[in-house]
Structure 1
Amino acid sequence: MTDFQAAKQIVRDYHRVLATATPGTIADVLAQTTSRDYIWRGMHPFNLLTGAADVARLFWAPLLTALTRLQRREDIFFAGLNEIDGETSTWVVSMGHLVGLFDAPWLGIPPTRKMTFLRYCEFHKIADGRIVETAQFCDIPHLMIQAGQNPFPPQTAAHLVQPGPIGHDGLLYDACDPAQGAATLATINAMISDLGTWNLGLPLEQELARTWHDDMIWWGPAGVGATYTIDRYATQHSGPFRAGFSERTKTRHMCRMAEGHFGGFFGWPNFTAVATGGFMGMPASGKAGEFRVIDIYRRDGDKLAENWIFIDILHYLNTLGLDVLDRMDGGFQT
């Protein structure tokens, strides 16, 4: 039995000191909790950053300036060994919302001076008592929508301030039975095996029913939206998505793990696909768009029941030549 409690405590301590950080102190906080060669993978326009100083200067300090009184409302927290590297590394996942008062511009997005929810998910790699690598996705388009700056056409599903798991049991601060995590990872892998082909020869609803409960909930990002039940997921996201792309590459992940009834993965990128038209109102491009994705799952019995998805849509659009944030006054300054 692998003990993840020490790794979990490192991330919980990091969150605790981060909660009291200011734009002026955040660099010291990161320096104390991360390694010297710290790697941080974020969404567009931040992308890949190295070293605590740049992560503090380019991401955290501007965010703490914009979203004052920032607090973390965590819904899911778990740890595990990374299947992708042969279970040689330990990672800790945190997912929920960062909540604050939107008091100053961020990335050129005008402030509302109102309460704002920023969906987030973090994967932290732990080694030698420090965080050595992070993948951190935030749903920036959802923040834009809250600020009245919706950059997208009407989406196929509904986007909301998204809740955590239905049982409110996603915070795995204590140790779990490793057999449960193994079962969750096996179910996720079976789903990936089905999804990765787009060519099982089954009707889409029957394909999904192999690994998903009929009352599944797919908590998609802003621009796509959330769907409930296999039937609505097929008609409101999966079907239109498959119809809008061709030449999808195989799924690639940097980390895939599970603990208890929760698991997930991220890729950099997960896959590429050529837009043949229709997705998010975009015309056919003939170009291969790149998808960076984080997926978090809840297993119920032998099938998946809930899925929280973070797609770096701004990066995907940027690979097609559309920089959404360029339209904002001020934009991103390096």
Structure 2
Amino acid sequence: MDINQQNKATARALWAALDADPASAVPLLSHVAHWQGPAPVGLQTSGAAIVERMFAPFHAALEGLTRQTHIFTAGVSQASEAGTGDGAYWVAGTGYYTGRATAPVFGIPATDTPLRIRWGEFLRFDAEGRITHAQTIWDLVDWLDQIGHPVLPRPRGAAHVFPAATAYDAVLHDVQDAEETAASMALGRGLIFGGLNSFDKADLKSMGMADYFHPNLKWYGPGGIGACLSLAEFETLHQQPWLIAFPDRKVMHLESLFAEGRIVAASGPMGVVAHQTGPYLGHAPSGKPVDVSGLDFWLRTGGQFTENWVFVDMIHLFAQMGVDLLAKVGADD
């Protein structure tokens, strides 16, 4: 079994343990040095700490908690712009949890509402197959919107849209074709380092998004932004207001960028850096520097990406802009 397949088996075992009894997962996390959880959890520096402060309270608060996995992938990262490759091994997944929050958690009140809580997670492994670093984002803004506590204006895109891949099984348990993987990696690197980072601060066309995204792109954004169901919607409903707010944004501190088959995945707690010099989602310019904690998954069809699942830690982003979104809820932890 190759190392990516071994790491996938460990990831499956970890998630099964976390879903059944979070404490039982601690032995699998004995080499964790850095786990970036979503705000308000933040950075934890041991497996025991991330279980105690994130997974255990989440598990205790959610009755009938069930994980659905829509994408499952692994690979060796090439996150540097120079293209030399950083050689790190990663496994990533996304989907949603279902359940009912019968107790408050993370500043979110209890409710009888059936929930679909979007999750994304990246696990880094060392050469011995041990988890050493990780990043998790749960879409808390979308969760709050589902229970009638919106903390941001109604999204410009479609709310609560985060499906599995279209006409493709993106749960990649088996080894994928090497040529497909190479084509996906080339397109992903082109999009990030040749497209997104080429914005001239004036014209969206300067990034050449039409070279990377199909006209019927499905872009599944986080709570507060929503889903865009074409390239034109992506440009007008998300990209334009985002670049008005953060015109100097640059992708530069990715922790991972890898491909497997037709899937590309990228992560970074500070994967994008910028200054908020324009208004954003009803909030005035702060002039403050921000780093964007985000996760991305793309599906390549032919020579273009046709779907993109996007996570942004909006609680963390707005905190840097001087806005405490959870304080708007007024719930106890």
Q: Contact 1:253/1:265 (CA < 8 Å) preserved in 2?
A: yes
- For residue 202 of structure 1, report the CA deviation from its aligned partner: 6.2
Q: Which moved more, 1:224-233 or 1:239-248?
A: 239-248
Could you say what the CA RMSD is over the residues aligned between the two structures, in angstroms?
2.0
Listed as ranges, the matches of 1:129-208 within 5 Å are 129-192=129-192, 193-199=194-200, 204=205, 207-208=208-209
Q: Contact 2:253/2:270 (CA < 8 Å) preserved in 1?
A: yes
Q: Contact 2:32/2:131 (CA < 8 Å) preserved in 1?
A: no
Q: Contact 1:325/1:331 (CA < 8 Å) preserved in 2?
A: no
AA at the equivalent of 2:209: L
SS at match of 2:169: coil
Listed as ranges, the matches of 1:64-83 within 5 Å are 64-83=59-78
Q: Contact 2:296/2:308 (CA < 8 Å) preserved in 1?
A: yes
- For residue 2 of structure 1, report the CA deviation from its aligned partner: 5.7
- For residue 205 of structure 1, report the CA deviation from its aligned partner: 9.0
AA at the equivalent of 1:119: R
CA 1:153–1:87 in structure 2 vs 1: closer, same or farther (change >3 Å)?
Answer: same
SS at match of 2:237: helix
C-alpha distance in structure 2 between counterparts of 1:156 and 1:274, whole Å: 22
Normalization by structure 2: what TM-score?
0.92
1:244 corresponds to: 245
- For residue 114 of structure 1, report the CA deviation from its aligned partner: 2.7
- For residue 33 of structure 1, report the CA deviation from its aligned partner: 1.0
SS at match of 1:19: helix
- For residue 51 of structure 1, report the CA deviation from its aligned partner: 1.1
- For residue 248 of structure 1, report the CA deviation from its aligned partner: 2.4
1:116 corresponds to: 115
- For structure 2, the 5+ residue unaligned runs are none
CA 1:185–1:158 in structure 2 vs 1: closer, same or farther (change >3 Å)?
Answer: same
Q: Deviations over 1:97-116 (max 9, x none)?
A: 01112111112211112321
- For residue 48 of structure 1, report the CA deviation from its aligned partner: 0.7
Q: Deviations over 1:25-45 (max 9, x none)?
A: x23x23221134442111111
- For structure 1, the 5+ residue unaligned runs are none
Q: Deviations over 1:189-209 (max 9, x none)?
A: 111121112129865398211
Q: Contact 1:269/1:290 (CA < 8 Å) preserved in 2?
A: yes
2:292 corresponds to: 291
Q: Contact 2:26/2:51 (CA < 8 Å) preserved in 1?
A: no
CA 1:279–1:79 in structure 2 vs 1: closer, same or farther (change >3 Å)?
Answer: same
Q: Contact 1:103/1:114 (CA < 8 Å) preserved in 2?
A: no
Q: Contact 1:264/1:295 (CA < 8 Å) preserved in 2?
A: yes
Q: Contact 1:75/1:168 (CA < 8 Å) preserved in 2?
A: no
1:92 corresponds to: 91
Q: Does 1:272 align with 2:277?
A: no
Number of aligned pairs?
327
1:55 corresponds to: 50
Normalization by structure 1: what TM-score?
0.92
C-alpha distance in structure 1 between counterparts of 2:256 and 2:175, whole Å: 20
